[in-house]
Structure 1
Amino acid sequence: MQLITPTDPGYDQARRVRNARADRRPAAIARCADLADVRTALEHARRHGLPVAVRGGGANVAGWGTCDGGMVIDLGGMKGVEVDPENRLAVAEPGVTWGEFDAATQRHGLAVPGPRNPDVGIAGHTLNGGIGDLSRQYGLTSDNAVFFDLVTADGRQLRASANEHPELFWGLRGGGGNFGVVVRFGFRLHPVAGVTAGPLVHPAAHAPAVLRTARDWLAEAPDEASLVMLLWTAPPLPFIPERLHFERSMVLIPTWFGDPDRTDAVLGPLRHGDPAPVADGIRPMAYTAYQRLLPSPPDVTRQQVYNRGELLPELSDATIDDLLARWATSGPNFSVVLGALGGAIGGAPAGPTAFTHRDAAWFAEICAQWYGDPDSPAHLRPARDGWRALQPVTRGPYVNLLPDPEPEWVRAAYGPEAYERLVRLKTTWDPDNVFRFNANIRPRPEEATHA
């Protein structure tokens, strides 16, 4: 284990996470190489009374992978991936990113539902539920977890699965990093040979009609199809026509994982509708190439980020109109991402989990990303107003996109029944709330029992 403190060279780089707004100064950063290092770091933190933050990929929008004055258990160096193609299983360590994981599984034509950003770590994404374009076929990332090996707050090592500590297994599939440090994830894999996908670009004037077309298309689309839509000020990416560079525009990225010969039959309403896109980049591609269609912005660790996601049961005309009005009147650093849910997500293919809002048909991500003042009202106010306007129609926030740590929003993310169940689980496994830099489930220590 390498222990980095504020006086060591490289401390400033080591303490940074993907969101520059999380500009925190831990007392120590423990770079762990294996399970033994994790246990040693936890023991060191307990002995010195240090708060504990756990970092996997470091991409969480709320900056949960760091803290002021505490111990950061940095798992970024734990990069092992083992794939068993015959049994369609994979075992991965918590420092693995989705780009690394997909590269390993795609060598065998296999995959598990994961995010659209290959730089995101597997750990937080999985523990908080996990949505991806394969989710309409195969469920959430957490639905495809078959076990978690973890170190608990008191230093014990154990496995949670359907047969071992099943209640803890339930909670880890959506309940976040509240119950321990997961050092190995076991996943069920699925055959994914490739995908037909790509951007459909529209000018801003098309957006009202295209959003409605896409909404109606999703209601009838096969589960092998998915969709993400962006309302943004377009960067100068190769697939954006030059006349739309730095202009408000809309991009649809549909995916089709089924028979390539059926591509036009399935995606035709989006490609050939009225109004038609001004650029069509849909083509067959490797799944790993699809995951890199939207690159990370330059100098990403300097970027201020405030993104929040809400889970919507429907995308009504009124919601569409409100989102468009906010986008049209906000600055160029404000954007909206709408993503398709439904399909297997609603069927809970692995049984009940702590992710409860399974009837949601869409997620809506309200985004503010900028450089400069981290508390800029010009950027924060439109984003906060945007998600607040969705509260009458949302099922609740999506934990992976929850920058607001207040208890009311954590409760809303799970709903009352699941939240109370998570509180009981937290009280059993972490009565002192050692793991609290997360969407925190607060224990009731007076009710604590030995697990």
Structure 2
Amino acid sequence: MAHHSAHHSSPRGASHGPSGTVSPAALAGFRAGFGGGVVTPGDASYDEARTVFNAMVDRRPAVIARCGTADDVAEAVRFGREHGLEIAVRGGGHSVAGMALSEGGLVVDLRPMRTVTVDPEGRRVRVGGGATMSGLDRATEPYGLATTGGRVSTTGVGGFVLGGGTGWLDRVFGLACDNLLSVDLVTADGRTVRASEDEHPDLFWALHGGGGNFGVATSLELGLHPLPVVSVALLMWPPEAGPEVARVYRDFLESAPDEVGGGLIHLTAPPEEFVPEEMVGKLACAVLVTYAGVMQELRDVAEPVLDLDHDAEMFAELSYADLQCMLDDPPGYRNHWSAEYLASFPDAAVDLFCRRADDMIVPSPSQHVLFPQGGAVARGPGEFPVPWRRAPWVVHPFGLWEDPADDERARRWARDVRADVAPWSTGAVYLNFIGHEGRERVAAGFGADNHRRLAEVKARYDPGNVFHLNHNITPAGAVPAPG
């Protein structure tokens, strides 16, 4: 569950436990020599510095090292190891399990490292390890270029890409990791390495879905694609129309061009001008159609969905960066999410999926989502450790709520959604979409053969499992702790 600290399921080693102790003198020495900023309990900015996206996560690190350079990162990692502090790495702070924080440990806070440098001629971009999606999208926007990003503008680019990276554009441009050209990484022993096709190819392979297991990504280089404009259509119906809408949507997507993205989403109808007053604040079934191109093309290809008699509609032609913040989830909510990847979505699955929307917490920003895959996702490189790319559909219960009294209800809803669609599941899962769900689920995120190979790469670059606050891969040869 999201509020449990991760270290229970990590192998213990000299380099980490839940926390070590740091003397005031050692801390003063670190502060004096450290190039970045150091935040500790008692500092005015401490509470702000330890707040993450999921309000259920309330951990108190001993040291938060705000790193401005790769040298700062190396120094922070060395300091943490010397003092036996459990090390967490913070980019966007969006993981549902709050992996960006360690209780009583050291946080390598990359947020100051958010420079984004675009090479429009070479169609590539270099992104600092602490940059968010909006930083990336706004930098590439003036050149009419984009790359697959997450569906929320505040997500950290690093964790998103290293976990595989799925978003509105993945059917046309592939997963984020398919566009990864190189990564600069600080390893557990404080070395800086660059991973690319030519340098440390074993590590480069592992960074295509293997997450933050291998070191701290201080910068990433990504390929860009021409995308001057995107078009979106958002349509809404009362929830009882869900099964019919879902069938039409499913059949439409199965033959839609790669430029089409979006999803079928049950949500609380927002108080927007285009939403009829009687729908606001109530459960609605919505279809979001995104299109990498102009509005007229969207209207032509999405005719089967647009022809359904809907109760609310919104059409917009806008920049990708603007689309990216259109559905931003507000911070400060309690979070629990999960996912199941499906080999097919037959009528029986449609009915179960739509019925389960009734168990959502409404009104809230929660979403009960069906995302399409296919297109460039399915055609992408088969050798990377992202076995979920072959599934045509993903069901994603995404819970956000305010009242702690609703915690168990929200968790149960996510579990029930997964159980309902289990007969059609491929078993693989995108780990960025889930919290701590046990070692079997981590293995399912990579596939058995990939998991073994990742464990060997882990043993080469992080044999002591210093970086274990993630969907953890135990180094080959190490014995995993129970849990």
Q: In which range does the TM-score fall when normalised by the shorter chain?
A: over 0.9
CA positional deviation for 1:445: 4.0
Number of the residue aligned with 1:66 = 101
Instruction: For residue 54 of structure 2, give the secondary structure of its aligned residue in structure 1.
Output: coil
Q: Give yes or no for the alignment of 1:78 onto 2:113.
A: yes
* Residue of structure 2 aligned with 1:401, choices 405, 424, 433: 433
Partner in structure 1 of residue 326 of structure 2: 293
Alpha-carbon distance between aligned partners in 2 of 1:216 and 1:70, rounded to the nearest angstrom:
50
> Counterpart in 2 of 1:370?
401
Aligned-pair distance for 1:390? 3.1
Which residue of 344, 355, 358 corresponds with 1:328?
Answer: 358
1:268 and 1:325 mapped to 2: Cα distance? 26
Number of residue pairs matched? 441
CA drift at 1:283: 2.7
Q: What's the counterpart of residue 420 of structure 2?
A: 389
The answer to whether 1:357 aligns with 2:388 is: yes
The answer to which of 220-229 and 328-337 deviates more is 328-337
SS at match of 2:278: helix
Q: State yes or no: 1:106 paired with 2:141.
A: yes
- TM-score, structure 2 normalization: 0.88
Determine the C-alpha separation between the residues in 1 that align with 2:246 and 2:449. Answer: 34
In the alignment, structure 1 residue 340 sits paired with structure 2 residue 375: no
8 A Cα contact 2:174 2:376, kept in partner: yes
Q: Is the 8 A contact 1:304 1:374 kept in 2?
A: no
Cα distance between partner residues in 2 of 1:81 and 1:376: 38
Residue 146 of structure 2 aligns with an amino acid whose one-letter code is A
Alignment of 1:318 with 2:353, yes or no, is no
Offset of residue 24 of structure 1: 0.9
CA distance in 1, matches of 2:400, 2:360: 12
- Which residue of the partner structure matches residue 262 of structure 2? 227
Amino acid at match of 2:41: P
Distance 1:107 1:317, change over 3 A: same
327-336 vs 144-153, which moves further? 327-336
**Alignment match, 2:310:** 277
Moved more, 376-385 or 6-15: 376-385
Three-state SS of the structure 2 residue aligned to 1:57 is coil
Instruction: Give 2:140's aligned amino acid.
Output: T
Structure 2: unaligned runs, 5 residues or longer? 1-35
Following the alignment from structure 1 to structure 2, what is the Cα–Cα distance between the partners of residues 236 and 117? Answer: 20
Shift of 1:374: 7.3
CA deviation digits over 1:199-242, x for unaligned, max 9? 11111121110000000000110011112121122232344322
Deviation at 1:130, TM superposition (A): 0.3
SS in 1 for 2:414: helix
Trace 1:36-435 onto structure 2 (pairs within 5 A): 36-258=71-293, 260-273=295-308, 276-297=309-330, 300-301=331-332, 303-332=333-362, 333=364, 335-349=367-381, 352-373=383-404, 376-395=407-426, 396-435=428-467
Indicate whether 1:443 and 2:475 are aligned. Answer: yes
Please give the TM-score of this superposition, normalised by the length of structure 1.
0.94
Q: Which amino acid in structure 1 is aligned with residue 436 of structure 2?
A: D
Q: Does the residue aligned with 2:89 lie in a helix, a strand or coil?
A: strand
Distance 1:375 1:25 in 2: 24
Letter in 1 for 2:83: H
What is the rounded CA distance, in whole Å, between the counterparts of 2:167 and 2:137 in structure 1? 13
Q: Distance in 2 between the 1:193 and 1:31 partners?
A: 35
**Structure-2 change in CA distance of 1:374 and 1:412 (3 Å):** farther
The corresponding residue for 1:8 is 43
Asked if structure 2 preserves the Cα contact closer than 8 Å seen for 1:405 and 1:439, the reply is no
Amino acid aligned to 2:229: G
Q: Which amino acid aligns with 2:475?
A: P
Q: Which letter does structure 2 place at the counterpart of 1:422? A: L
1:251 aligns to what SS in structure 2?
Answer: strand
Kindly state the Cα deviation for residue 261 of structure 1 after the two structures are TM-superposed. Answer: 3.7
CA drift of 1:61 comes to 1.3
CA contact (8 A) 2:336 2:400 kept: yes
Displacement of 1:446 in angstroms is 5.3
Shift of 1:246: 1.2
Which runs of 5 or more structure 1 residues have no equivalent in the other structure?
Answer: none
State the Cα distance separating 1:97 from its structure 2 match. 0.9
- Please say which of residues 59-68 and 307-316 is displaced more in the overlay: 307-316
- Per the alignment, in what secondary structure is the counterpart of residue 236 of structure 1? coil
Structure 2 letter corresponding to 1:292: C
Task: For 1:296 and 1:313, locate their aligned partners in 2 and report how far apart those are by CA, in whole Å.
Answer: 28
- Aligned-pair CA distance for 1:259: 5.2
Higher mean alpha-carbon deviation, 310-319 vs 247-256, is at 310-319
Q: Give 3-state SS (helix, strand or coil) of 1:163's partner.
A: coil
Tell me the CA shift for residue 405 of structure 1: 4.3
Question: CA RMSD of the aligned region, Å?
Answer: 1.7
Could you tell me whether the CA contact under 8 Å between 2:61 and 2:106 is conserved in 1? yes
Q: Which amino acid aligns with 1:402?
A: I
Aligned partners of 1:264 and 1:199: how far apart in 2? 12
Distance 1:131 1:413 in 2: 14
